């Protein structure tokens, strides 16, 4: 299976790393991440973790400023003859024209059990509401925010005093297997 991987932060990087190292039937053709951003008091231009991983592992990586109406980037992706686009905490809306590029569609790993807690901080919302379980939802992407058809849900327990960082570690442990199993089912 050939995929494009869209992601930006630490959680995305951990999923990309596992997919790249542990699943020989999955080929990461291209990595897409948000542009470098100024960080810290001195505002030093810093690459996101996904870009750093991609560069360290000789994966082709792009950081388009915008996706909407980016015809040249759409064509680049079409040339890759992708089976899937996999999105993990990319941080930008994927326009409709990109959703139609891969053979089997665009798949998102979302950090909550949908339909609860859509948007950018679902784990923090789950903790704020005192939930005892959370999980990841693997879903088809649609034009709306976290509105695509749900393919699978994988729960994890929230322990007392657990932090969002600790929950993301759990997601990183279950996410790759859950994703690959789901992709295999779609192709079959």
* DSSP alpha helix (H) spans, the chain: 10-22, 49-56, 71-79, 96-99, 122-128, 164-187
Q: Do the Cβ atoms of 135 and 113 come closer than 8 Å?
A: yes
Higher-confidence residue of 74 and 117: namely 74
50-73 pLDDT per residue, tens: 999 999 999 999 999 999 999 999
Average pLDDT estimate for 148-174: 92
124-157 pLDDT per residue, tens: 888 888 889 999 999 999 876 667 899 999 999 9
pLDDT exceeds 70 at position 26: yes
Integer Rg of the chain from CA: 16
Per-residue confidence (pLDDT) for residue 124, from 0 to 100: 85
The percent of residues in the chain predicted with pLDDT above 70, rounded, is: 97
pLDDT exceeds 70 at position 75: yes
Per-residue confidence (pLDDT) for residue 106, from 0 to 100: 96
84-122 pLDDT per residue, tens: 999 999 988 899 999 999 999 999 998 888 888 776 778
Average pLDDT estimate for 164-172: 92
Higher-confidence residue of 83 and 129: namely 83
Average pLDDT estimate for 6-11: 94
Output the pTM of the full model. 0.93
For 2-187, CATH gives 3.40.50.170
Per-residue confidence (pLDDT) for residue 87, from 0 to 100: 96
Higher-confidence residue of 124 and 166: namely 166
How many Cβ atoms are within 10 Å of 179's Cβ, its own excluded?
27
Measured distance CA(15)–CA(5) in Å, rounded: 10
Per-residue confidence (pLDDT) for residue 146, from 0 to 100: 61
Per-residue confidence (pLDDT) for residue 142, from 0 to 100: 83
Measured distance CA(77)–CA(101) in Å, rounded: 7
């Amino acid at each position: 299976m050939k995929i494009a991987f869209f992601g930006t932060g630490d959680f995305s990087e951990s999923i990309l790393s596992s997919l790249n190292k542990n699943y020989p039937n999955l080929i990461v053709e291209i990595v897409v991440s948000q542009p470098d951003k100024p960080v810290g008091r001195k505002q030093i231009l810093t690459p996101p973790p996904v870009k750093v991983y991609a560069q360290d592992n000789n994966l082709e990586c792009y950081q388009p400023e915008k996706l909407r109406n980016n015809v040249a980037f759409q064509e680049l992706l079409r040339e890759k003859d992708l089976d899937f686009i996999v999105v993990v905490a990319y941080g930008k809306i994927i326009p409709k024209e990109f959703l139609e590029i891969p053979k089997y569609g665009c798949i998102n790993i979302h950090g909550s059990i949908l339909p609860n807690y859509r948007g950018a901080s679902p784990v923090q919302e789950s903790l704020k509401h005192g939930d005892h379980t959370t999980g990841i939802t693997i879903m088809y992407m649609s034009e709306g925010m976290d509105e695509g058809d749900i393919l699978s849900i994988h729960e994890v327990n929230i322990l007392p005093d657990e932090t969002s960082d600790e929950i993301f570690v759990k997601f990183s442990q279950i996410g790759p297997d859950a994703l690959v199993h789901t992709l295999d089912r779609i192709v079959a």
